[in-house]
């Protein structure tokens, strides 16, 4: 019995804990951020990080509990980092509206905390998402806020101006886009001192001139400025874009041999850097030129490869471009039924992409800053510990019960033997 009592005392005194050693929190916009704070907040953040890979929904629950467990409004930046981590999971789960609300909240918290560099990172993520999903007004607002911060801190703003020019092009305001590129970047090349940005500015300006059918100016901007600067800056993506624009400039003027040569260059360089979208678009462009000059057999080969690559990439927009080129091929060969079918498929694919973008755009427009009302300290950590002790006590009682049963059985056997 003394042994039994000792065993019970040992189990009762030494608590059993399931908490793991502390790990860093992975944040969307920052490589590694250590877990700050103490108590329940620390525990819940740790659990969120540990469960996120296998169970992202449960990780979101832990992050929410971490935010609610804060007893004082001490960490605006701390809360912002949690919001960013939550948005990363929510974007992955397709919860676009809530994800964007968390980013919006993080940006507001960084603003209140007086952290402009962190604000730029969050605003950049928001702007990029908006721009990709055609929420141009919202993207423009984000980039304008970034530009204001950059000016106040005397930071380089060339890249932001490029994005604002892209948005103007998306809205069809070519003159404003050209003005942004010329006044803010090209005319201030000595101040910017970044060949990539200046090359991109010339490249985008050439694209605008192509859309305006000012072909000579577009050709000159590429050959005399953008291509040289991209090459000297080692910007392979810029060189590929230069070849594509030149190909389109010559194609639209029906200078097919020159167009074909530049599209071949774009294809070759895209393959060299394994740029699959670049390979697909160059194949589509080559196919259209080959159709125009009567090389239908070669065009079929190019479109077949482009279609397979698009399926492998699961890229509906690129596959739509391939099907549109298929329609051109069938129409040119007199197969109206196949041409109509390919055109309809291309339109359906584009509509699917546009519907997704519209849904995301609506989510962005409906996003709001999330406010947690101040509350008293919630003893969540205490609850966790109580649960752990309860499990431990159950284990102790089980051990006692087993030992007691063994003693009774031995006692009965000994008595029966007598």
Handedness of CA 160, 162, 164, 170 (dihedral sign): negative
Q: What are phi and psi of 254, to 5 degrees?
A: 60, 30
pLDDT at 77: 87
pLDDT at 391: 53
The whole-angstrom separation of Cα 267 and Cα 289 is 14
pLDDT at 357: 86
The whole-angstrom separation of Cα 8 and Cα 279 is 72
pLDDT at 323: 94
The CA-CA-CA angle for residues 91, 94, 96, to 5°, reads 65
Question: What six digits make up the tokens of 396?
Answer: 């102790």
pLDDT at 350: 87
Terminal Cα distance for the chain, rounded: 22
pLDDT at 354: 86
pLDDT at 28: 37
**Which residues of the chain are under the pLDDT cut of 50?**
1-37, 73, 376-389
Rounded to 10 degrees, what is the CA torsion of 9, 12, 14, 18? 150
Q: Which domains does the chain have, with CATH numbers?
A: 24-133 (1.25.40), 156-274 (1.25.40.10), 275-349 (1.25.40)
3-state helix, strand, coil in the chain (%, to 5): 80, 0, 20
pLDDT at 366: 81
101 half-sphere exposure, CB direction, 13 A CA radius: 13
Global confidence as pTM = 0.73
Contact of 53 with 62, CB cutoff 8 Å: no
What is the per-residue pLDDT across 320-343, written as a single tens digit (0 to 9) for each? 999 999 999 999 989 999 999 999
What is the per-residue pLDDT across 23-46, written as a single tens digit (0 to 9) for each? 333 333 333 333 444 578 888 999
pLDDT at 9: 31
């Amino acid at each position: 019995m003394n042994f039994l009592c000792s065993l019970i005392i040992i189990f009762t005194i030494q608590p059993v804990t399931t908490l793991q050693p502390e790990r860093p929190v992975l944040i969307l916009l920052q490589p590694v951020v250590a877990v700050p704070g103490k108590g329940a907040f620390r525990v819940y953040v740790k659990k969120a990080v540990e469960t996120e890979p296998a169970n992202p929904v449960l990780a979101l629950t832990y992050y929410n509990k971490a935010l609610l467990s804060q007893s004082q409004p001490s960490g605006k930046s701390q809360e912002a980092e949690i919001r960013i981590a939550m948005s990363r999971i929510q974007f992955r789960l397709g919860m676009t509206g809530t994800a964007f609300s968390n980013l919006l909240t993080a940006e507001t918290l960084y603003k209140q905390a007086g952290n402009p560099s962190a604000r730029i990172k969050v605003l950049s993520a928001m702007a990029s998402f908006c721009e990709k999903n055609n929420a141009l007004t919202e993207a423009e607002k984000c980039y304008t806020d970034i530009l204001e911060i950059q000016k106040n801190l005397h930071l380089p703003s060339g890249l932001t101006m490029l994005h604002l020019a892209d948005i103007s092009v998306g809205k069809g305001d070519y003159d404003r886009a050209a003005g942004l590129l010329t006044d803010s970047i090209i005319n201030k090349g000595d101040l910017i001192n970044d060949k990539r940005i200046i090359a991109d500015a010339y490249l985008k300006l050439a694209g605008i001139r192509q859309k305006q059918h000012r072909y000579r100016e577009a050709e000159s901007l590429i050959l005399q400025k953008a291509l040289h600067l991209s090459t000297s800056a080692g910007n392979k993506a810029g060189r590929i874009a230069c070849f594509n624009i030149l190909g389109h400039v010559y194609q639209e003027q029906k200078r097919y041999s020159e167009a074909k040569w530049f599209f071949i260059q774009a294809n070759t360089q895209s393959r060299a850097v394994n740029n699959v979208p670049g390979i697909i678009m160059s194949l589509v462009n080559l196919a259209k030129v080959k159709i125009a000059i009567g090389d239908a057999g070669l065009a079929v080969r190019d479109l077949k490869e482009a279609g397979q690559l698009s399926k492998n990439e699961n890229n509906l927009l690129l596959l739509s471009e391939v099907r549109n080129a298929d329609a051109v091929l069938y129409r040119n060969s007199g197969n109206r039924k196949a041409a109509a079918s390919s055109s309809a498929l291309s339109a359906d694919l584009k509509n699917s992409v546009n519907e997704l973008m519209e849904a995301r755009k609506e989510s962005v427009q409906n996003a709001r800053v999330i406010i947690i009302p101040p509350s008293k300290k919630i003893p969540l950590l205490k609850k966790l510990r109580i649960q752990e002790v309860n499990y431990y006590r159950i284990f102790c009682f089980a051990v006692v019960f087993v030992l007691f049963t063994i003693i009774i059985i031995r006692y009965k056997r000994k008595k029966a033997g007598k």
